[in-house]
Amino acid sequence: MSDGRELLPPDFARRMVNWARWKDGGAGHVAISSIYEGDGRNEYREASIPLLIGEAQDTDDAIEALPARYQYPIRQVWLYLGRPSAWHARIRGIDYRTWDGWVRQGHQLLQQGIARRTIVANTLRVTRETVERAA
């Protein structure tokens, strides 16, 4: 049995990784300018993955809105990505099947919550644009 992360939509998984990076303090050191990076040699570097702060904050708000039973598992699974369910369950003092169930249910509720928030935000945006055009 698994916690179902491999079945999550790719965009949702990307969103959760972005949230975990934000919770962990972001992408690390960011220089003011590229001239301050590296040791001055002109060599190719891999571009850093951008951190979507607004999306991460929205995700954090959606996690906070989850029932308490599901908040902890969702946070732990993404902040300690790669750890097996048995490890998480052992720390919590529960069976790994219970842990997996909480994670799957938490992901389902979280996706529904994010979808609701998106609908509300889009409705407000359209309403605002309509009012601005009328003025």
Is the CB of residue 57 less than 8 Å from the CB of residue 67?
no
pLDDT tens track for 50-83:
889 999 999 999 999 999 999 999 999 999 988 9
Say what the pTM is: 0.76
Residue type, 50: P
Backbone torsions φ then ψ of 37, nearest 5 degrees:
-90, 150
